[in-house]
Amino acid sequence: MMSVELIKHWQQQQLPIYLADELVQLMTDEKAIEDGFYQYLTFGTGGMRGILGAGTNRMNIYTIRRVTEGLARYISSNGEEAKKRGVAIAYDTRHFSYEFALETARVLGAHNITAYVYKEARPTPQLSYTVRELNAFAGVVITASHNPKQYNGFKVYGEDGAQLVPTGANAIIEHMNQISDIFEIEVADVTELEQQCLLQWILEDLDEKFMNRLLTLKNNNAIDYNMKLVYTPLHGAGLIPVVEGLKQFGFNEVHVVEEQAVQDGAFPTVVYPNPEEAAAFSMAIELGNEVGADILLATDPDADRLGVAVRKGNSYELLTGNQLGALLLNYILYTKQENGSLPSDGAMLKTIVTSELGTAIATHYGVTTVNTLTGFKYIAEKIAEFEMTKAHTYLFGYEESYGYLIETFARDKDAVQVALKVAEMAAYYSTKEKTLLDALEELYGKYGYYKEALVSKTFEGKDGQEQMKVILNNYRLNTPKEIAGIAVVRVEDYLTGIATLHEGTTEPILLPKENVLKFVLEDNSWIAIRPSGTEPKCKFYFGVVRDTEEKANEILARLKEDILSKQVLS
């Protein structure tokens, strides 16, 4: 259908009142109606994410039905056994998350595919674990992670508990493209599905099993169990497993930000429920000062990202994802070395836009660093590869955007695991009369001052997508020879899969193709540019290393000024 015909088709349907009312309002705004209907919401390798509302380019029960129909046809194409193994479904605390989870089960049930649905909101990493525990053929999480309240999303997992790889994702997309009318997609009755055991509710048994796996992370180091912690779930799904896990780890002084323990998709106490944002810690800081907490922990709504703030005098300093990743990596490798369990074939995984401090630490311990594209699905893919080839033993994986994974019973970034390990790590340093900031300063003193920055430029709507394409294309057509007066010695174009050195020679990039450019400078500084796969943003990453913090900050500022002042961004 053409866009005008499509809109008329929507107007002719018996929509839920809230969608019908919104559609009437959209008709008075030409730009809004175009953004809502110019395309079907994009489905990528991890799923889809978008603004809630009426339209084909919005998250609503009809776009949920469309993607689930594609998933159901994909599962059916894999035979009756795949349908019996079914799909595990979890959801966070966002608006319509429960409704979308139930709608997913109804579409699956219409295809006689079993759905295992959590009775309450649970973290994304717990869903990843559940897929493997139930031997399900696939998994779904209804979440938009750390996005604002206007968003929701649909993430798909394969039978290994990892986000779906491109082969499976492309098959789902192909099935979705064959759907001629989303309003004709069949959905089953919930009561009938329950009676036929095609809809099975899960909670307590899987909660207990997940907790038992979390407790395997605990080390027997001498640690300070009376260290004071503050935790906030930011109105999300992390509350129960994180608080219970800290308790079972043995921590006696865990203080929860009660106002943010309320599971509320409006996220009433924060603008962005994102632990990367300092503002998200304001209430945790207030409580931390009240109780004298040593560290503050915050998880995003689906509890796959963790933010940490450390007491510094009378205030708190928020660690970056790169800093926390380096601290965790060092602690894990040091601990394994001390107890004699550090393998000779160990590997650490990180993304191409993550700090090189982790590489330096891994090298010190004789551990191999393997880089992946941005997105934890690529880290999970490497974990599976290691298990199959026995090339390496996985030790730790992380990305700069506050995502980390320690043990592989989950195959996605896991803030629950990491919250427990960070508390243990901080309590270990506490017995040495050190904070995590002291430990970080020791790493800088040993390996150099690695400093990073991320600048995101927002490009909303259809026009914004075109602008981001122009930015990357301009950089390809006008590749800089130097940045901030420092020569570019290597250009990595992940879309073409070719790295070009300054003398003109080329090398293949042995990673999947993606629209990313990375410039490596002669002083080991680097800049990477990539459109976000989940948000309407173009991201600019910067990394430097110097022998002093002052020098590192100076060159970082110069690089940012040079790149962000370019006419290409105007």
Residues labelled catalytic: 145
User: Residue with structure tokens 């990892």?
Assistant: 162
Distance CA 163, CA 23 (A): 33
> Can you point out the beta strands (E) in 104-204?
115-118, 138-142, 151-157, 199-202
Q: Which residues contact 205 (CB under 8 A, 6 or more apart)?
A: none
CB contact at 8 A, 317 and 310: yes
For residue 146, which of 422, 401, 515 has the smallest C-alpha distance? 401
Distance CA 124, CA 75 (A): 21
CA distance from start to end of the chain: 35
Distance CA 110, CA 312 (A): 56
Rg (alpha carbons) of the chain, rounded to whole number: 24
Q: Which residues contact 386 (CB under 8 A, 6 or more apart)?
A: 347, 392, 393, 394
From residue 178, alpha-carbon distances to 69, 70, 100, 106, 279 in Å are 10, 9, 22, 20, 44
Distance CA 207, CA 210 (A): 5
For residue 417, which of 430, 441, 394, 398 has the smallest C-alpha distance? 398
Residue 72 region by backbone torsions, left for phi larger than 0, else alpha for psi between -120 and 50, else beta: alpha
Distance CA 32, CA 392 (A): 50
CB contact at 8 A, 296 and 316: yes
Count other Cβ atoms within 10 Å, centred on residue 230: 28
CB contact at 8 A, 437 and 310: yes
